[in-house]
Amino acid sequence: MKHLLGIEALTAADITGLLDRAEDAKQRLLNRKKSDALRGKSVVTLFYENSTRTKLSFELAARYTGADVSSLAVSTSSVNKGESLIDTGRTLDALLADIIVIRHAVSGTPLFLSGQIAASVINAGDGMHEHPTQALLDFFTMRERFGGLSGLSVAILGDVAHSRVARSNILGLVKLGASVTVAGPKTLVPKEIERLGCKVVYAAADAVKDADVIMGLRLQLERQRSALIPDAGEYNRFFGITPALLAHNTRNAVILHPGPVNRDVELDFSLVESAPSLIHGQVLNGVAVRMAVLETVAAAKREEA
């Protein structure tokens, strides 16, 4: 695994191996113990889109694994002078970057970059395509709670059409033996998503009834080219995770959300910090999972050399 470009290319064994490694990483993280797994390695974060959790947790993960970490602030970089992605990537190569963690609005950008440069590339979210480390931290959080993913029932609610988190989750959960049901307004849930192995329903109550995990998705207004929902209040009434919706659930489901949360839109304000919510735990697990990913990619690169 010289690069991590998506969940699609991983086998169930690859995913399980990463989650096992993340368990060990989490213990080190909780003890604030740094390793020297990436000592002498240079990790660069290159985010063309905004981020709080992913960017910061990759930077923390790089430090916890002993790497030198630098962050290119794209908004004040030579990208604004017209520098192309390839030239930026080759400049980072020339600066001896070993691993580039990239987020970009265009689907496929990490794959493209990985074919143009010597450094390893990790996808931190590309357009509407994949967000593999978010899915891995979601799997890790579910496994921590339930002991395994096989046989789990996961409901994913909301803006599936624009969600790279939903795609990566569906691809991985199906490989790991979970069943996935998605629900949302017809304008935001393409029927073709069923090809990934999930079931589509259009009533949120039907999706959550037998779910062990209810995952809300952020309503991605920045990716919607036209108004796809009448208004946020209406969306919340029909597809928001609310106490009224949870009353339909028969299994004391836990709540996940990748963040940032639009409170009172996709998730009731009071539920973010409620007992079933694992949202803050997901953020912590993100550091452990990204430590595991960095270690795995660095080891593959060492073997290749």
Residues of this chain that interact with ligand CP (CB under 6 A) are 51-54, 125, 134, 258-260
Token readout for 253 is: 């489901």
Residue bearing tokens 């910090």: 273
Q: Which of 134, 119, 128 is nearest to 54 (CA)?
A: 134
Rounded least distance, CB 260 to ligand CP, Å: 6
Of 249 and 282, nearer to ligand CP (C-beta) is 282
d(CA 113, CA 120): 9
Rounded least distance, CB 172 to ligand CP, Å: 15
Of 200 and 217, nearer to ligand CP (C-beta) is 217
Rounded least distance, CB 283 to ligand CP, Å: 9
Which phi and psi angles does 78 have, rounded to 5°?
-70, -5
Rounded least distance, CB 257 to ligand CP, Å: 9
Do 255 and 225 form a contact (C-beta atoms < 8 A)? Answer: no
Token readout for 39 is: 């000592």
Question: HSE of 221 in the Cβ direction (CA atoms, 13 Å)?
Answer: 11
Of 89 and 125, nearer to ligand CP (C-beta) is 125
Q: State whether residue 25 is helix, strand or coil.
A: helix
Of 124 and 292, nearer to ligand CP (C-beta) is 124
Of 47 and 235, nearer to ligand CP (C-beta) is 47
Rounded least distance, CB 66 to ligand CP, Å: 23
